[in-house]
Amino acid sequence: MDYVDLLFKFVLGVVILAVSFIIAMYATWVERRIAAWIQDRDGPSRNGPFGLLQPVADGGKLFFKEEVIPGRSNRLLFILGPGIAMGTALLTSAVVPWGADFAIAGRTFRLQMADLNVATLYVFAVVGLGVYGIMVGGWASNNKYSLMGALRASSQMISYELGMGMAAIGVVMLSNSMSLRDIVQAQSGLHGLAWNVFLQPLGFLVFLICAFAECNRHPFDLAECEAELIVGYHVEYSSMKLGFYLFSEYINMFVSSAVMATLFFGGWQVPFLDLLGLPPPFATLIGTAVLFVKIFLLMFVFMWVRWTLPRFRYDQLMNLGWKALFPLAIVNMLWTAGLVAVRGFH
């Protein structure tokens, strides 16, 4: 890897970080507008045209607020918790392929920070580390409500990781690879009918529901249940530390949607695009744009469900994860294994 490749990777990393923060910031505006539309009200409309400056105002408010650290808290861990939550949320995007390869002046560039042959395993390893950001912050606050929220969040995320991992195994077996780029390329052909959402509909349903729980999104936001826990594990946080926790939730939602689009919706694959005969750079640009359209549609599903379904009880949450989704994921894995074995035998 020479200096040109290093410079490209550096620029790509900066762009991915900037895009992640901008999308997380404006996802709050979009969610408020969707909530207003569902509830037949206006939503943000006073800060800038259509309220587009509302996220900037919210960020400025958090940035300039007084930072309060409880006197009886563990200061080091209290500061470290939001950093772990934000860091793990951003790390997952390193293995997501954001587009096909393209060549400029005889050099081939790849819109992916790291093409790991165990990228799927890496995603679940980083997702597992995200539990520590919540648990550390909740415990270090020395507050019984934050500790209860952290315990709920950690047990919920650990429980639903199993079903999510089992659902992804079916995709890995069909693609015969754990590389996300190989998984996307395995879904090419048949003009979209080879996407894993058609080959693994049960696996996609299980993965989607587990993603709601992993992101602590409604109707699985038991860690932030206001009626029981005030605001949950970050009740003692203020200023940008609170902002890190809030932003990490939306970044997790963005990256989870990107992973789902990659695993089940063909990533950058566009049906019938190859028939147009476009040059590789233009085809790559269109593929990347379509990938973001898929991501935004999945994020809309997250927001739509939040303002449509009621919150589960905690016993219902755990029963759904262990008694419904986990067995369904095992059935999907065994069915896929049998299908792959029969196909290999023939």
Range of the domain at 139: 70-345
- The per-residue pLDDT for 329 is 92
| Residue 188 φ/ψ region, left for φ over 0, alpha for ψ in the -120 to 50 degree band, beta for the rest | beta
- The per-residue pLDDT for 346 is 44
Number of domains in the chain: 1
Cβ pair 267, 290 in contact under 8 A: no
- Kindly report, residue by residue over 219-237, the tens digit of the pLDDT: 887 766 665 666 777 788 8
Does 174 reside within a domain? yes
Does 93 reside within a domain? yes
- The answer to whether the predicted template modeling score (pTM) of the entire model surpasses 0.95 is no
- Kindly report, residue by residue over 8-47, the tens digit of the pLDDT: 888 999 999 999 989 988 998 999 899 888 888 888 888 8
Does 6 reside within a domain? no
Does 99 reside within a domain? yes
Does 25 reside within a domain? no
- The per-residue pLDDT for 295 is 95
Does 29 reside within a domain? no
Average pLDDT of the segment spanning 53-65: 85
Distance separating alpha carbons of residues 67 and 18, to the nearest angstrom: 25
Distance separating alpha carbons of residues 151 and 153, to the nearest angstrom: 5
Angle at 20 between CA 16 and CA 21, to 5 degrees: 120
- Kindly report, residue by residue over 266-278, the tens digit of the pLDDT: 888 888 777 677 7
- The per-residue pLDDT for 208 is 93
Does 216 reside within a domain? yes
CB atoms within 10 A of CB 176: 11
Structure tokens that stand for 270 in this block: 């566009």
Range with the largest mean pLDDT of 150-159, 275-284, 328-337: 328-337
CB neighbour burial string for 144-154, b if at least 16 within 10 angstroms, e if fewer: ebbbbbbbbbb
Does 144 reside within a domain? yes
Angle at 257 between CA 256 and CA 263, to 5 degrees: 90
